[in-house]
């Protein structure tokens, strides 16, 4: 779990508006805090699919699964099983 979370944070730092110094709480909204936009989310999704060799069905592309670190981590854990 922690490893996945760190990977996502590294990705966000390298590819979005997230500052290197700033910290992100597990349940903070990525979209409402302006960390990522719709194009960015699709790119993040492509990254996740490739990195974890998973396919994310469209009906999982929801705020619950994609708008926070915790949501994304839970989703990857579920799908990577």
The residues of the shown chain that bind other proteins, judged by CB under 8 A, are: 15-17, 19-20, 31-34, 36-42, 58-63, 66-67
- Three-state secondary structure call for residue 18: coil
**Identity of the residue, 6 or 22, whose beta carbon is nearer to other proteins in the bound complex:** 22
Q: 21-25: long-range contacts at Cβ-Cβ below 8 A with a sequence spacing of 24 or more? A: 24/69, 25/69
Find tokens 């854990």 and name the residue: 77
In the complex, least distance from residue 2 CB atom to other proteins, rounded to whole angstroms: 25
Tokens 């709480």 belong to residue: 25
* Closer to other proteins by Cβ: residue 23 or 38: 38
Min dist. Cβ of residue 38 to other proteins (A): 4
């Amino acid at each position: 779990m922690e490893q996945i979370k760190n990977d996502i944070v590294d990705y966000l730092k390298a590819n979005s508006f997230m500052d290197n110094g700033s910290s992100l709480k597990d349940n903070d909204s990525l979209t409402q805090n302006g960390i990522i936009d719709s194009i960015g989310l699709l790119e993040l999704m492509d990254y996740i699919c490739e990195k974890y060799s998973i396919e994310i069905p469209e009906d999982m592309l929801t705020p619950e699964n994609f708008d926070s670190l915790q949501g994304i981590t839970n989703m990857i854990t579920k799908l990577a099983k």
